[in-house]
Chain A
């Protein structure tokens, strides 16, 4: 439209003005947002700076006070006065004029020297340039030029050396005239420096730029900017304990061993390291970020990323404790978990279970194991009565048995035998592993079933055979073979059968009922569906003899190939599994849709998500759920570079092609029989429940070993040794003594040697180290009694009694030393005192830094501490 309307034109002008003004305001907003709105870390850094300033200011003031108090200020004033006097004296002597003249000469020479240096630089630069062209082109003219330049360089060099030489005598004369002036000046400067340093620190703090700070670790592809807000994380003296200014807890353990410059922050703590715009984003608590920040003990879950052995790892105490649960409940039986291969079955072998337990008991156990005893590890599978009976039928028919219960009313126990059995029961310390009536049994270390109602569970024949030789029924069981005579076993069996019975036990099948083929088939399907063979040994069942009548009805048992290794989901990377792959089912809306919540809910109520899930309910306490989920959360697809990895000893041995340690000869037979490694650790095999015996041969005296093995309950109480276990649990220590295995009474299978002989021999041949000398050095210049007295003095002076007990005097942190002269070899004591951590890295005993002489004296004293056994 050519003829434009005036009104509409003005109207547009207003619009234009309005938009322009708004755009201007918006631009200001954009700048503000970019500078402050999106950079909250600036605020934190400023705040930290001011806190740091306050701290340094305080330190400066303190240093000032200290300076005055310690007389530093006075000394400074003195020195200044002396300096003034010396300078005045210099003038008075009339040498002042000469002094100034000399100084001027020196200055002149220094100027010349500087000029020749500059010339030298120029000529050298030209030389290098020419040399480059000559190297490139190989033209002779460049070579000529180079030679000419070299001549110049030499000339200048010589000139400047001459200048240097001329300076020397002048300097000397100046020093002569000046006397002590330079020394005074130096001391004044040094005194001033004490405060200057502090001042400089304050100034440096002021100058520190406010900027994004980050750890950039290329090979794990991380740029962790956490330090932009957590600015004081590495400081040794934190200006504030408030977040984000606080320093890292246990800095020496965590940051000391994991330099943040190489590991970053998110490798252990997760969270979104690159984010800097809000706290929520940085901590990964936003949608689509599946790795929220780990705090506190939960962070220890990350130790599993790299550390193969977390046992005894400082700073990993919580996760180490938590991993015990995996072993306790045998998660690895159904789920593939790396590092938990070949541990052995959690449940007992079931191949012959029909000869062991009552049918009614078996059915009730299948229905709800916790009903039988509350510490039962077996989970609840929610079987119906029919299903439980079908499985029991399957298991019983496998061992050629019928539905059969012992009639408890007809069981007769000889009162005399019961009395004898009771004594044996306590002598053998059965309660050490087995709980009865709520007493005994430590389930965190050695798991053994509660025996309170066992009399109603198993039959006496089986019990007799079991105690006689546990390996026969269940090869690989943890139950040791006690060297009882048949008569003793009968006594124990009668005692157990009379004492530990379930009053509520019912016996439906006192008259045996034949098992139906249909029920066995149903049971077989259930066994396969729920993977009972994960925890219980049922292998080789194709070998099982089926009764002809059942065989005719088509009864078969599972073949090994029908028993898949693991029926559960692989858990190797459950801690980094994408959330989309987790099926929250009907709980999608009722629980938070994140990985940790899923894991916890799965442990709490495994079948709660939807129909058709098979995982049984372990009825874990909420604490156990938290602990176990912390471990599972640590099983990640960690893309840790190899340099981070700390493989376990086992893996290292495997890589190096070293065979793991194996017991050999007759000693292996003893171990397999008595199961020493249930409690003791020998060369890395076994538990840490009782003392490590790896170097027992170098440590213990033979006579003591023999006495102890024959009569553990006689010598042991004298030691009154506080068990480590009691300490770590933080309870009053129970007086735990080694069970009496009645060693020495029988010969080892196929040999002529007694088991004690075998043990002693193995200790002395195998469990020794050349590190520990047989004999200790002899001190010739002092008589033995005097040496012992000196040793005692050392013992008292160093305060050994704070931890160790002698007789009834002393602390209970370390072992009682009343009988140490009978127990330990002098060489061991001598070597042990040199560095207590060498043989027991987690020992609390400090290293006193004894001299060799002191160690000999102490050893000699300790070797006199004996209690004669009567």
Chain B
């Protein structure tokens, strides 16, 4: 069979395929609604739900939920009769499965291990994700978009969320499921997995590029400068920019909110930056410290 079809139809991957289809559908749907509403608004019409203050839960919502739960139950029953639990080979304490994959919903995090120190990928970044999600209600001061779809009124929030969720969370899961094979090597879906594949891909640290040993003091200093410039510059430059462009916004946010937003944002953006460094420039670490590596 075609490897691609084989991978798609594996019992393990059915859930992921359903997820891809559903997320794509709802994303397109949501953006379509948002753009429609934006058009209506610019044309001067009111948007449905924009001015509603309260909506009843019982009966409208509860009824729909009951129907949906019935439908989901039917679907799950048919699925569980039709497809057996996808077991793998018998556990062998002397043999690690290759590839050893996390549950599918954590494959995005596992993918980060390719690019980051385990301490960062496994502890710091997941904690920041949780903290960041918790902080959203406190740092979001835009009251628009409640109860109706809109894009133009919440452009930055939606773009940042879409990037974080669709690209950094879901896309990495899809990559982890479909493109990571034995040895955690990259396999296109049409390529066959081969546990004996040999890949020669020498990686370097950033300071090696300018000829400095990355584990020396000089290398440490260079790395610290690069990371420091990114973090501090990433905080200062937007401040200056907004000060010129929209000082009121900064006023409304206040310093604490500003710092939190920008810190979370640049940390998030460090992930794709590091990925590009690793994939395109074969750079393993930017900054090596005795405690952790960046």
Contacts and interface: CB of A to CB of B under 8 A. Distances in A.
Interface stretch (A18-26, A658-666, A787-795): A18-26
Interface in B59-77: 59-60, 63-64, 66-67, 70-71, 73-74, 77
Contacts of A289: 89-90
Interface stretch (A139-147, A182-190, A340-348, A578-586): A578-586
B89 A290 contact: yes
B67 A578 contact: no
Contact of B70 (A20, A33, A288, A585): A20
Contacts of B74: 19, 22-23, 26
Contacts of A290: 89
A683 interface: no
Contacts of B88: 288
Interface in A1-22: 1-2, 4, 12, 15-16, 19-20, 22
A253 interface: no
Contacts of B195: 580
Nearest to B49: A1
A1 B95 contact: no
B92 A578 contact: yes
B55 interface: yes
B81 A588 contact: no
A288 B88 CA distance: 6
Contacts of B196: 583, 585
B43 interface: no
Contacts of A578: 89, 92, 95
Contact of B71 (A4, A19, A580): A19
A30 interface: yes
B56 A580 contact: no
Interface size grouping (class) on chain A: 20 to 34
B78 interface: yes
Contacts of A33: 81
A4 B62 CA distance: 14
A289 B92 CA distance: 12
A29 interface: yes
Interface in A514-544: none
Interface string B2-17: 0000000000000000
B81 A29 contact: yes
B257 to A, nearest CB: 36
Given A1-B55, A588-B192, A26 B78 contact: yes
A2 B59 CA distance: 9
Given A289-B89, A578-B92, A30 B194 contact: no
B98 interface: yes
A288 B89 contact: yes
A725 to B, nearest CB: 44
B87 interface: yes
B61 to A, nearest CB: 10
A341 B64 CA distance: 76
Given A1-B55, A33-B81, A12 B70 contact: no
Contacts, number: 48
Contact of B73 (A23, A583, A588, A589): A23
Contacts of A589: 192
Contacts of B70: 16, 19-20, 23
B181 to A, nearest CB: 12
Contact of B63 (A12, A23, A26, A588): A12
A30 B55 contact: no
A30 B76 CA distance: 12
A27 to B, nearest CB: 8
A2 B70 CA distance: 24
Interface in A586-612: 588-589
A588 B194 contact: yes
Interface string B178-208: 0000000000000010111000000000000
Contacts of B81: 29-30, 33
B87 A2 contact: no
Contacts of B67: 12, 15-16, 19
B60 A30 contact: no
Nearest to A37: B81
Nearest to B89: A288
Nearest to A22: B74
Contacts of A580: 95, 98, 195
Contacts of A26: 74, 77-78
A65 B55 CA distance: 89
Central interface residue in B64, B67, B98, B192, by most chain A CB within 10 Å: B67
A382 to B, nearest CB: 23
Nearest to B81: A33
A213 to B, nearest CB: 23
A266 to B, nearest CB: 12
Interface in A226-257: none
A289 B70 CA distance: 37
A112 to B, nearest CB: 65
B218 to A, nearest CB: 42
A636 to B, nearest CB: 13
Contacts of A23: 70, 73-74, 77
Interface in B239-287: none
B223 to A, nearest CB: 38
B140 to A, nearest CB: 27
Given A1-B60, A22-B74, 12 more contacts: A2-B56, A4-B59, A16-B66, A16-B70, A19-B67, A23-B70, A23-B77, A26-B77, A30-B81, A288-B87, A289-B90, A588-B192
Interface of B: 55-56, 59-60, 63-64, 66-67, 70-71, 73-74, 77-78, 81, 87-90, 92, 95, 98, 192, 194-196
Interface of A: 1-2, 4, 12, 15-16, 19-20, 22-23, 26, 29-30, 33, 288-290, 578, 580, 583, 585, 588-589
23 contacts: A1-B60, A2-B56, A4-B59, A12-B63, A12-B64, A16-B67, A19-B67, A19-B70, A19-B74, A22-B74, A23-B70, A23-B74, A30-B77, A30-B81, A288-B87, A288-B88, A289-B89, A289-B90, A578-B89, A578-B92, A578-B95, A580-B95, A580-B98
The 10 closest A-B pairs by CB, nearest first: A19-B70, A288-B89, A583-B196, A26-B77, A580-B195, A288-B88, A578-B95, A15-B67, A33-B81, A22-B74
